Amino acid sequence: MSAGSPREGQAQAPAPQDRGPAGNGGLSRISRATHLKEALLRNAFLVCACVAVAGVTLIFVFVGYQGWPIFAKLGIGEFLGGRVWYPTKGLFGILTLVVNSLLAMAGGLVLGAPLAVGTAVFLSEVASPRVREVTRPAVELLAGIPSVVYGFFGLVLLRPIIARVFGGLGFGLFTVWVILGVMIVPTIATLTEDALRSVPEGIREASYAMGATKWQTIWRVLLPAARIGIIDAVILGMGRAIGETMAVVMIAGNAPVIPDSIFKPFLTLTTVIVMDMPYASGDHRTALFGVAIVLFVISMIFVASIRVISRSRGEGD
Amino acid sequence: MTDKLASQDPGDVLSAGADKFTVDGLDFFYGAFNALSGIDVRIKEHAVTAFIGPSGCGKSTFLRCLNRMNDLIPGTRCEGKVRLDGHDVYGPGVDPADLRRRVGMIFQQPNPFPMTIYDNVAYGPRLHGMRKRADLDAVVEESLKRANVWKEVKDILGRGGLTLSGGQQQRLCIARVLAVEPEVLLMDEPCSAIDPTSVQKVEDLMAELKDRITIVIVTHNMQQAARVSDYTAFFLQELAGEAAHLIEFDRTATLFTTPRDRRTEDYITGRFG
């Protein structure tokens, strides 16, 4: 309320003087009902925004409160820098998990981002309207598939194939890369397509009118012109990849080591929480909350970098 | 300007000077709609030809037929012959990209690329294979000079093209086109969205450029047509929903002083009225 009331005051205070019938040659007064409705709506939206902010704050405070003791006990260096995660022996180093999460994300990105940007270019610049009508919903549908279904698909269909072709059990980074690569396509493709579409038509025409081919126009003008939006899209895809839990836990194999092969099992920041939380207690439980804090911070870094990059747009161009 | 008017020699419209473009019986369709019908026109080399007429009379559409920009709009179709130096631009196997390099275009809204001023101008040369920095530097400077904008941007070549004023952006776009050495420059209402100082500079550079380049300009502004052009074509769509026609084509001085067609006279006097 403290945020709402001053603005309300500004809106209401001048009303009686300004809208008096004498001063304004017959312009009608704003009705009391309109005033009330406006104030009501304003406050309703304020409440909505507050709920979102409160949700984030509560989660952050709770996770921080639960997880902070592990940082205090081990020190940030030992927790983040320790290579061994062996809870039953009291070893809570999460460097391995951080590295594994980043590896999983990076591989998914390497496979998924070009695929997604290519899809977006196809949808925005190449496809005829009829083809687009079929393709775009298909891509959007990818985003609607629950992650457990991706995991199931990876486990039942992809894993045996990978096991047969490359040996081993088929659990490992490679399997995760393929699944994550597909999972982030809709996120990146949809946003990249928006970015391409928001490039003014005049810029396309200018390029064609200079004697550029379609390919040259896409490569030299449109993608550079949309680059900020594309970078944003890729960062959001990174967030999706690093936070993905369900699909990853089903196909990663979940061994707490830095794998010496991309076909060997591994454990990530997200999957350790889902694997260990059901039975963890004491320091182990606290350490898992510590892992959650790390995930939180990584997400915040992604969001913040989008902010910074988007802000640089106005000055750069 | 005045001595140009004085030296008019009426009656030689189709004979004097070489024809850069010859257009015979051109019809243009948006889907089933016949937007332009029976256009015959000769565009003289090293001269400025203006297309005038009310809004929606098809003059911009016709301009875009000359470098096949309408190809980019799905559902459009062009019939009749358009020849550049005698070669059919809609002929089989003609590369529209090569045609457009030779026949450059300036649009109503300045449309620089969201990249630096330098990269904007270097875009075309790079597209067509120029790589050496020294060569590019030379082309960029030369083009910006010819486009009357060098003095304003020479110290800020690394700045974004979109940071310039509208009029400067338009001259940057002209420089960008000039950098690929087009033979013809099509200008689609190039001055309607820019400030008066820049309008003056654009009109000046048109006069300077026509030694080397054939210019066709679409304009709403009849004073501008009278000031800058050697030839003028008047387009008119007489009834809504029907095809537009080329009503009259003549030397600018003749068309503006002694139009042969009643409709041309009505349009000109109505506007000057």
The pLDDT, as a whole number, for residue B7 is 40
- Cβ atoms of B45 and B212 closer than 8 Å: no
Tell me which chain B residues have a C-beta less than 8 angstroms from the C-beta of A206.
Answer: 107, 111-113, 173, 176
Given B100, B124, B162, which is nearest A317 (Cβ)?
A: B162
Tell me which chain A residues have a C-beta less than 8 angstroms from the C-beta of B111.
Answer: 200, 202-203, 205-206
- Find the mean pLDDT for residues B197-224: 92
Contact at CB, B113 and A200, closer than 8 angstroms:
no
Q: Phi then psi for B27, rounded to 5 degrees?
A: -120, 140
Nearest CA in chain A to B117: A317
B16 pLDDT more than 90: no
Q: Are residues A36 and A137 in the same domain?
A: no
To the nearest whole Å, the CA of A282 is away from the closest chain B CA by 56
Q: Are residues A104 and A236 in the same domain?
A: yes
Q: Tell whether A311 is within 8 A of chain B (Cβ).
A: no
Query: pLDDT band at residue B51, thresholds of 50, 70 and 90?
Result: very high
Q: Are residues A178 and A40 in the same domain?
A: no
Please calculate the CA angle B140-B145-B151 and round it to the nearest 5 degrees.
105
The pLDDT, as a whole number, for residue A309 is 86
Q: Tell whether A209 is within 8 A of chain B (Cβ).
A: yes
Contact at CB, A213 and B97, closer than 8 angstroms:
yes
Contact at CB, A206 and B173, closer than 8 angstroms:
yes
The pLDDT, as a whole number, for residue A24 is 57
Query: pLDDT band at residue B199, thresholds of 50, 70 and 90?
Result: very high
Give the three-class secondary structure for B13: coil
Query: pLDDT band at residue B118, thresholds of 50, 70 and 90?
Result: very high
CATH number at residue A203: 1.10.3720.10
Which of A26, A45, A72 is the last residue before a domain boundary? A72
The pLDDT, as a whole number, for residue B270 is 75
- The count of structural domains within chain A is 2
The pLDDT, as a whole number, for residue A157 is 94
Given B69, B98, B176, which is nearest A208 (Cβ)?
A: B69
Tell me which chain B residues have a C-beta less than 8 angstroms from the C-beta of A229.
Answer: none
Q: Tell whether A207 is within 8 A of chain B (Cβ).
A: yes
- What dihedral angle (degrees, nearest 10) is formed by the CA atoms of A70, A76, A82, A84? 10
| Cα B79 from Cα A315, distance rounded (Å) | 47
Given B105, B128, B162, which is nearest A209 (Cβ)?
A: B105
B269 burial type by CB count under 10 A (0-12 exposed, 13-18 middle, 19+ buried): exposed
Which of A72, A91, A118 is the last residue before a domain boundary? A72
Highest mean pLDDT among A177-181, B28-32, B195-199: A177-181
**Which candidate, A247, A265, A235, places its Cα nearest to that of A112?**
A235
Given B72, B101, B115, which is nearest A210 (Cβ)?
A: B101
Tell me which chain B residues have a C-beta less than 8 angstroms from the C-beta of A200.
Answer: 111
| Cα A101 from Cα A106, distance rounded (Å) | 9
Q: Are residues A282 and A175 in the same domain?
A: yes
- Count CB pairs under 8 A between chains A and B: 73
- The neighbour count for residue B215, using CB atoms within 10 Å, is 24
Nearest CA in chain A to B181: A210
Max CA separation in chain A (angstroms): 90
| Cα A53 from Cα A51, distance rounded (Å) | 5
Q: Are residues A182 and A51 in the same domain?
A: no
| Cα B164 from Cα B167, distance rounded (Å) | 8
- Cβ atoms of A154 and A247 closer than 8 Å: yes
Contact at CB, B101 and A200, closer than 8 angstroms:
no
Q: Are residues A145 and A275 in the same domain?
A: yes
Six token digits for residue A265? 């099992």
pLDDT, tens digit (0-9, with 9 covering 90-100), for B56-83: 788 999 999 999 999 988 889 999 999 9
- The residue behind tokens 């959001």 is A236
Q: Are residues A68 and A94 in the same domain?
A: no
Q: Classify the C-alpha dihedral B85-B91-B95-B101 as positive or negative.
A: positive
The pLDDT, as a whole number, for residue A123 is 94
- The neighbour count for residue A105, using CB atoms within 10 Å, is 25
Give the three-class secondary structure for B83: strand
The pLDDT, as a whole number, for residue A233 is 94
The pLDDT, as a whole number, for residue B5 is 42
Tell me which chain A residues have a C-beta less than 8 angstroms from the C-beta of B113.
Answer: 203, 206-207, 221, 224-225
Q: Are residues A100 and A65 in the same domain?
A: no
H/E stretch holding B75 reads none
- pLDDT mean across residues, chain B: 89
Domain of A209 in residue numbering reads as 81-316
To the nearest whole Å, the CA of A212 is away from the closest chain B CA by 6
Q: What is the ipTM of this complex?
A: 0.88
| Cα A11 from Cα B163, distance rounded (Å) | 37
Please calculate the CA angle B40-B41-B45 and round it to the nearest 5 degrees.
155
Which of A72, A100, A123 is the last residue before a domain boundary? A72
Q: Are residues A19 and A135 in the same domain?
A: no
Q: Tell whether A206 is within 8 A of chain B (Cβ).
A: yes
The pLDDT, as a whole number, for residue A156 is 94
* Residues recorded for chain B: 273
Six token digits for residue A232? 């944003």
- Cβ atoms of B62 and B28 closer than 8 Å: yes
Tell me which chain A residues have a C-beta less than 8 angstroms from the C-beta of B67.
Answer: 209
Q: Are residues A298 and A174 in the same domain?
A: yes
Q: Are residues A48 and A104 in the same domain?
A: no
Given B74, B98, B113, which is nearest A211 (Cβ)?
A: B98
Q: Tell whether A127 is within 8 A of chain B (Cβ).
A: no
Domains, chain B, with CATH or none: 2-6+16-113+184-272 (3.40.50.300)
From the candidates B111, B118, B162, which should be mutated to test the interface with A, based on the most A CB atoms within 10 A? B111
| Cα B233 from Cα B217, distance rounded (Å) | 10
A 61-90 residues with CB below 8 A of B? Answer: none
- Find the mean pLDDT for residues B129-157: 94
Mean pLDDT by 10 residues, chain A (317 residues): 43 46 66 88 92 92 92 89 88 91 95 96 92 92 92 94 89 94 95 94 94 93 93 94 93 85 90 92 92 93 89 57
**Which candidate, A174, A168, A154, A164, places its Cα nearest to that of A251?**
A154
The proportion of chain B whose per-residue pLDDT surpasses 90, expressed as a percent, equals 72
- Cβ atoms of A290 and A67 closer than 8 Å: yes
Q: Are residues A165 and A276 in the same domain?
A: yes
Given B97, B107, B115, which is nearest A211 (Cβ)?
A: B97
- Over the Cα atoms of chain A, what is R_g? 26
B6 pLDDT more than 50: no
To the nearest whole Å, the CA of A131 is away from the closest chain B CA by 14
The three-state DSSP-derived secondary structure of chain A is: CCCHHHHHHHHHCCHHHHCCCCCCCCCCCCCHHHHHHHHHHHHHHHHHHHHHHHHHHHHHHHHHHHHHHHHHHHCHHHHHHCCCEEHHHCEECCHHHHHHHHHHHHHHHHHHHHHHHHHHHHHHHHCCHHHHHHHHHHHHHHHHCCHHHHHHHHHHHHHHHHHHHHCCCCCCHHHHHHHHHHHCHHHHHHHHHHHHHCCCHHHHHHHHHCCCCHHHHHHHHHHHHCHHHHHHHHHHHHHHHHHCCHHHHHHCECCCCCCCCCCCCECCHHHHHHHHCCCCCHHHHHHHHHHHHHHHHHHHHHHHHHHHHHHHHHHHC
Given B67, B109, B113, which is nearest A209 (Cβ)?
A: B67
Bridge partners (DSSP) listed for residue B36: B28, B244
The pLDDT, as a whole number, for residue A25 is 65
The pLDDT, as a whole number, for residue A12 is 45
